[in-house]
Amino acid sequence: MGKSSMVIFEPEETKHLVYLKAALYETLRLYPSAPIERKTVATTDIMPSGHEVHTGDTILISLYSMARMEGVWGKDCRDYNPHRWLSEDGNKLVYVPSHKFLSFNSGPRMCPGKDIAVVQMKTVVAAVVWNFDMEVVEGQSIQPKLSCTLQMKNGLMMILKKREI
């Protein structure tokens, strides 16, 4: 078996790919892996919406819907816009409170593997983009399927062609 001609990046090589990280965050904002978050109320309180919640109540948060709320993300909330994550010069990410971007949960329940997951996503996406020309097959019905994990209802047909590097 011959040596692979695929370029595989080391995590260190992807550290400077700020736009890629912004694109991944924007993808996770609009299409979170787990589109619904379940919380249990610790103490009786009043939500920002004015609803009273009691100790032990269960609250379901639709991350999928929250990503499409103007009050949270602005008028372009339904648009795919990685620039919302970038500083004006595009050299770094801007701070976004974790309670707005719940793909990795927030506060003391923040996913401890978030940084590792982001590094892995960056290395995989960088390798795929570097090694392949990609094209979405025309005429597909591209729809999400909401369940405990977000999926494509009909999958996503693509044509990948190995780049000659």
User: Which residues on adjacent β-strands are paired with residue 161?
Assistant: 133
CA–CA separation, 163 vs 156, rounded Å?
21
- Grouping H, G, I as helix, E, B as strand and the rest as coil, residue 2 is coil
CA dihedral (141, 142, 147, 149) in degrees, to 10, reads: 150
Does 111 show up as a binding residue in the annotation?
yes
Per-residue DSSP letter, 82: G
Q: Residues comprising the binding site?
A: 111
Q: Residues comprising the binding site for heme?
A: 111
